[in-house]
Amino acid sequence: MNIAVCIKQTADTESRPTLSADRSRVEEEGLVWIINPHDESAIEVAVRLRDERGGTVTLLALGPDRVESALRQGLAIGADFAVHLQCDAMPDDPKTVAGALAHIISTRDFDLVLTGEVAIDGAGAQVPQRLGVLLNWPCVTGVEELKVTSDGLTARHPVEQGDEIHICNLPAIIGINRRIGEPRYPSFRGIMKAKRKPIEKEAAVLEFAQLRIESLALPASRSDGKILTYEDGVAARVVALLREEAKVI
Amino acid sequence: MFKVLVIAESSGSRLTISTLEVCRVASELSMLLGGHWEMLVDHQTEEAAGAIAPRVSSFDLREIAYPGPEMLSDIVAQVTKAVNLVIMPATSTGKDVMGRLAQKLDAPLAQDCMGFEVVAGRPVFKRALYGGKVTANVELSGKLTLVSFRPRAHAPIQQSDEFVKANPCMVSIPELMTAVKLQPKASSERPDVTEASIVVSGGRGLQGPENWYVLEDLLDALGPNAALACSRPVSDENWRPHSEHVGQTGRAVAPDLYIAAGISGATQHVAGIVRSKCILAINKDPAAPIFKVADYGIVGDLFEVVPALAAAIRRGA
Ligand SMILES: Cc1cc2nc3c(=O)[nH]c(=O)nc-3n(C[C@H](O)[C@H](O)[C@H](O)COP(=O)(O)OP(=O)(O)OC[C@H]3O[C@@H](n4cnc5c(N)ncnc54)[C@H](O)[C@@H]3O)c2cc1C
Ligand SMILES: Nc1ncnc2c1ncn2[C@@H]1O[C@H](COP(=O)(O)O)[C@@H](O)[C@H]1O
């Protein structure tokens, strides 16, 4: 089974993003880069499926030069191949990203394509659904449990009213949620092997973006809270504050 | 003329609260832009929609046990004609449907918007990036654009005095690539965490599932609009269901009051709660990072503090 995993390189969740002087972009300098956590779990799922059923795992990452380090990390987790879809800057419009990913996927032979459910930086939450429509493949996103057989799969997607259970044939697109399981730490051997694996490069085919960031802002941090030490009467005081000051109960 | 279409979500014959919220967005936006708005509903909610929207179209999926996102996006694509903006609540299903619909209609989509403005005659939508650490104003170009709106970002719309009759749409049932069914969760009297006005959330400080009665008692004291939530390790350990897990990899909530008991306040947790109107933190460690985002905090043992809070609420303090 040949599996592709689309990975986005995102800023680490502990990073404190700052803005460019014209407030049009997040300053990339000083950010610590990681693989989008949902995508990292998708790599783990792919590597396990390959180990059980044979085949290959190919990583696809679109973005500027920096994304190569994400591909190296993914290879160290156990992927076999990596393709860097090159462009000057990370696109803001997920539609553009989905178009470029669909283009490369359609030129190769994959049985299963995994993505994350959502990228934690841009929160686009639409690439897997768009890929499904573009490739005319079945798509299930927000997947927290996945069973794959040689020609089909069963996937569980929690929604507000309960759990959706989807059954479909391959090839398919699956948007993975991190809750499916934590990825393994790359072994020393994995890291050393990843250094020698080649990264294929291809120019990304980018459509015209239709979603444009007009301006960015850093939301004001919350004003200093009232923090009290517990003793007699404190609970009643806080309840009174919630009623009269915050007016939330 | 600018035309806005709301895709409704329902539960039985009732429209969901988040649908009523996006109706308000649709109504205000179309007024600001000098256009009009309408609603697309399942036939079961025709009546509820008729008391709200100036125009209602409906489709009939009586034959289908559970339509699922693939069918819904196909049906909506069939009847979405000549509108400028499609809006849906950013629920799990809403986001799933909108992602598919956007590509079927070859249109741009901004998910999970929390606000809007009209600048130079064009709508601009506010979104949270980097787990809420950055906000962005985004513009969508093209004849047809799509947005989903976060639950609890706007007040629900009021009923109007007029009632309109729905206009039934003929739709053809598509051939599906996935078979989908719903395993409903055990019905609960309590609202979903994303819809509750008060959320009581527990972390590893609770020490085990057997101690949740402490939070449940506080929940009862707070009344029917309160719901339970938890941090990720709690759901990873199966102390609580995953549907209650809040944060970057869980649900994002925005209640009037979020009570965090025994939760340290890791950035990944905070990402899911920053839009709460008011945060009350209870933690025995005065240096816990949760106190940095809390409006009110009590430093103490939650097994003493939480029952004292429940008692004070019941006394009407
Ligand atoms: C990629 C990634 C994604 C993640 N996503 C999420 C997410 O979506 N949601 C999430 O919650 N976490 C997430 N996490 C995990 C997160 O980093 C923290 O590990 C987690 O939030 C900690 O949970 P906690 O606060 O319950 O536990 P702990 O960090 O163990 O904190 C327990 C707290 O309880 C307090 N306490 C203990 N006993 C008592 C007592 N008797 N009375 C009062 N206070 C007490 C302690 O002082 C402590 O502050 C993610 C992590 C990663 C790496
Ligand atoms: N630049 C990118 N390169 C590769 N995959 C991406 C990229 N952007 C998004 N994806 C994939 O699409 C998923 C959802 O992204 P989004 O729709 O932008 O939230 C991510 O979890 C990735 O798997």
pLDDT at B117: 96
pLDDT higher than 90, residue B296 = yes
Among the atoms of ligand 1, which is closest to the Cα of residue B247?
A: 8
pLDDT in tens, B138-147: 999 999 999 9
| Interval B98-124: pLDDT, tens | 999 999 999 999 999 999 999 999 999
CA distance B41 to B7: 7
Name the minimum distance, in Å, from the CA of A242 to any CA of chain B.
9
Q: Using the beta-carbon criterion (under 8 Å), do A229 and B308 form an inter-chain contact?
A: no
| Residues of chain B found within 8 Å of residue A31, distances taken between Cβ atoms | none
Least confident of A37-41, B185-189, B246-250, B302-306: B185-189
- C-alpha atoms less than 13 angstroms from C-alpha of A148 in its C-beta half-sphere: 25
Q: What is the mean pLDDT of chain B?
A: 95
Nearest CA owner, ligand 1 atom 7: B247
Q: Which residue of B has its CA nearest to A210?
A: B141
In this predicted structure, what is the pLDDT of residue A14?
A: 83
Sheet containing B178-184, strands listed edge to edge, beginning at the edge strand earlier in sequence: A145-148, A152-159, A162-169, B178-184
A215, two tokens: 């301006």
Are B109 and A141 in contact (CB < 8 Å)? no
Query: Which residues in chain B touch residue A211, judged by CB atoms under 8 angstroms apart?
Result: 108-110, 138-141
For B32, the 3-state DSSP assignment is helix
Q: Cα dihedral sign for A184, A189, A191, A196?
A: negative
CB atoms B131 and A120 under 8 Å: yes
Kindly give, in sequence order, each residue whose CB lies less than 8 Å from that of residue B139, ignoring residues fewer than 6 positions away. A211, A212, A214, B122, B123, B124, B125
Closest residue by Cα to atom 10, ligand 2, is: A8
Crossing angle between the packed helical segments B213-222 and B302-315, to the nearest 10 degrees:
20
Model confidence band, residue B265 (pLDDT cutoffs 50, 70, 90): very high
**If we measure between CA atoms, which residue out of A49, A19, A14, A29 comes closest to residue A148?**
A49
CA distances from A136 to A208, B94, B103, B178 (A): 22, 20, 11, 12
* Dihedral sign of CA atoms A155, A158, A159, A164 in order: positive
In whole angstroms, how large is the CA radius of gyration of chain A?
21
Q: Which residues on neighbouring strands pair with residue A68, listed in sequence order?
A: none
Pocket lined around ligand 2, Cβ cut-off 6 Å: A 6-8, 36, 38-39, 60-63, 94, 97, 115-116, 118-119, 122, 124-127
Which pLDDT tens digit goes with each residue over B164-196? 999 999 999 999 999 999 999 877 778 889 989
Q: CB-CB: which of A130, A169, A240 is closest to B103? A: A130
With H, G, I as helix, E, B as strand and everything else as coil, classify residue B269: helix
The nearest alpha carbon in chain B to A37 belongs to B249
Dist CA B293 CA B284 (whole Å): 16
Question: What is residue A221's predicted lDDT score, i.e. its pLDDT?
Answer: 73
pLDDT at B106: 97
What whole-number distance in Å separates Cα of residue A159 and Cα of residue A177?
A: 13
What's the confidence (pLDDT) of residue A144?
95
Of B1, B129, B111, B115, nearest to B54 by C-alpha is: B1
Using an 8 Å CB-CB cutoff, list chain A residues near B184: 161-162
As to burial, measured by CB atoms within 10 angstroms (0-12 exposed, 13-18 middle, 19+ buried), residue A173 is buried
**Of all residues in chain A, what percent are helix, strand and coil, respectively (each to 5)?**
30, 30, 40
Mean pLDDT of B56-72: 95
Q: Indicate whether B15 pLDDT > 70.
A: yes
Closest CA to B200 of B282, B114, B89: B282
pLDDT of residue B317: 52
Q: For tokens 């009643």, what's the residue?
A: A236
pTM of structure = 0.92
Residue A90: predicted pLDDT: 97
CB of B231 shorter than 6 A to ligand 1 = yes
What pLDDT is recorded for position A56? 98
Say which ligand is closest to the CA of A183.
1
| Cβ distance of A168 and B93 shorter than 8 Å | no
Which of A11, A158, A166 is opposite residue B178, by nearest beta carbon?
A166
- Which residue of chain B has the CA closest to A122? B129
Residues of chain B positioned with their CB less than 8 A from the CB of A132: 100, 103
Q: Does B315 touch chain A (CB under 8 A)?
A: yes
Residues of chain A with pLDDT under 50: none
Size of interface A-B (CB pairs under 8 A): 264
- Is a pLDDT exceeding 90 seen at residue B280? yes
Taking a contact as any Cβ pair under 8 Å apart, which residues of chain B between 25 and 54 contact chain A? Answer: none
Ligand in closest contact with the CA of B265: 1
CB of B94 shorter than 6 A to ligand 1: no
What CA dihedral angle connects B222, B224, B225 and B226, to 10 degrees?
50
Closest-CA residue in chain A for B272? A120
Ligand 2 centroid distance, CA of B18 (Å):
27
